[in-house]
Structure 1
């Protein structure tokens, strides 16, 4: 009885089923002759494979059902007389559909399937501009889930104009969660993708990050600073462009705001803009900026705080590069 119960514990993936099929086909280890699989074991394996297959089919079908719920809105809004209760029920159903799709599309094959099924166009045309903020941010989150580490989907999203819309939401949506999720989707489109970076530059993406770091939304400030640091690290050829925008002055002004953990990324970005960038170095050394005193005070404040060690390291590194002492050749040359 116990053995039968154990046999019924189906593995969770096809590899496990195949492994058990091999084991089921061998009645003994070693060189002994193989015995035929028992009828009971054959039945178990048939059922297990059916369960796996059913799960795979239902996953695609589930995605189609979710898209049907999301596509239904256009018709229902046209036909309905504005019943509030029905609106609320429909919104709940659509939010649930987005959540299911986002979970499913963590799997790269499902992300590709959603693209083929037209789900990304639906997000862009109908939901990134939806009146309900809960649907806007869930649409942005789904785009991010699909785009992450998936060049084929990234290129498709760029081709249908997703990036300008996402940058617009990041920059000016009235709901803070929408702005954060939109920036997450932007990050998934531009990091480690040259075409994405070029589209980002064409749409003045660095200015969007600059304004994001100056917003009142802590998450948006943090993610904006992190993406700026990542892009400058990955694409040092963009330093001159960023410096010419006055980014050094803007970053220093951000450092003067009440201290926050995201200042670590701001200091890291300043370090990037100083290294191998003469204008960035000159901007940091401009006495009117008061950066030297700011860095001295920040280093003093961070001493002994283990959780701020990386920020302190950036702070000291920036001090050494910008204000190394009167005998420094660099100091004399750049002044």
Structure 2
């Protein structure tokens, strides 16, 4: 039975025969050239062509796809493939040109939660660090289904993925940030912080910190909506990433909030003291993991109370070796003679001492007769 696909073994033999000097150079015949190109093209994917095919599927009504036996799992797998293609910024921007962006955004409203979540994943990849695609998504009204899914979707995974897409869409994008504020995005973020899903909490906290850092005036909105108490609650989370993100937002607020009530100051002190106590009980290994948390606690204490935290007194702010250069593990294998002598000076001194004790003969050597007499006397002594 004939083998299917290109004859790779024949191609290898042909390549070797024409490149190792065993055969004279000659022009390819038209038949050989055609065979070679077909073999290469059989293993080459035309990305744009494939993206157009995926676009056609996305443009097909859901009922028609269902009648054709296309399942939700098939569509999810197709979106995964599309996500790989649009990792290239050029391909991400081309998706709009070939008509694929609008139907992709339509999948954010799909009846299957997994497809809505995966579509948001693809959008995240498209707009990440890509101002052109950010603009295209905004112009195609892609923000609306994303903010709806983030705020209202019954599936927490869909909400989390939509939040991730929004974070990438509005980052360094002033029209996007404005749209987020107008859509009451902060209220949705506040609701996200009450979720029991740690990943959802982390993404919400990270976006809040970014918004506060970029727009100091948003600190007033956050304070009015009661975010600080939520941050303080999450700063005691069992998840270290959530704790760090909450402390980071509290520190941003502390830098931009002039007045603080006595009650709030007391609660802040209690929180930070609790964190210091917990850090003090950690093992050396755990202390290394929470390095950023230690620094945040100290910075927040200094910002709120104008004095260093007790972490400094306890030697827990900077652990031994954290600010030192990495260990020199290669020197013992590539040690220079000068370094070796400086490390072990006693051996060098012994060598010099031995050299000094060796007599330097300046006069004529002993006569041959004296030498013979000395040798014979030595032999007699040995015989005795």
Common topology (TM > 0.5)? yes
The CA deviation string for residues 243-266 of structure 1, in whole angstroms up to 9 with x for no partner, is: 232222221233345454311011
Moved over 6 A (4+): 41-46
* Cα separation, 1, equivalents of 2:212 and 2:33: 56
Bigger Rg, structure 1 or 2: 2
Question: What does 1:16-165 align with in structure 2 at a 5 Å threshold?
Answer: 38-39=26-27, 47=36, 51=40, 55=44, 58-74=46-62, 76=64, 80=67, 89-125=70-106, 127-165=107-145
Aligned to 2:305: 323
Partner of 1:313: 295
Distance in 2, matches of 1:257 and 1:194, equals 32
Q: Match for residue 267 of structure 2?
A: 290
* Alpha-carbon distance between aligned partners in 1 of 2:258 and 2:127, rounded to the nearest angstrom: 36
Contact residue 144 and residue 185 of structure 1 kept, 8 A: yes
- Per-residue deviation at 1:123? 2.5
Instruction: State the alpha-carbon separation in 2 of the partners of residues 96 and 64 from structure 1.
Output: 16
Identify which of structures 1 and 2 has the higher relative contact order when contacts are C-alpha pairs closer than 8 Å and 6+ apart: 1
Q: Which has the higher helix share?
A: 1
Q: TM-score, normalised by structure 2?
A: 0.66
Does the Cα contact within 8 Å between 1:251 and 1:266 map onto a contact in 2?
yes
Query: Would the aligned equivalents of 2:235 and 2:244 in 1 still touch at CA under 8 Å?
Result: no
- Tell me: CA distance 1:171–1:295, structure 2 relative to 1, closer, same or farther (3 Å): same
Gaps of 5+ in 2: 1-8, 308-384
1:291: Cα distance to partner? 1.6
How far did residue 107 of structure 1 move?
0.7
3-state DSSP of counterpart to 2:172? coil
Q: Which runs of 5+ in 1 are unaligned?
A: 10-23, 28-35, 81-85, 326-335
Question: What RMSD, in angstroms, separates the aligned Cα atoms of the two structures?
Answer: 3.4
8 Å Cα contact 1:69-1:93 kept in structure 2: no
Local SS of the residue matching 1:275: helix
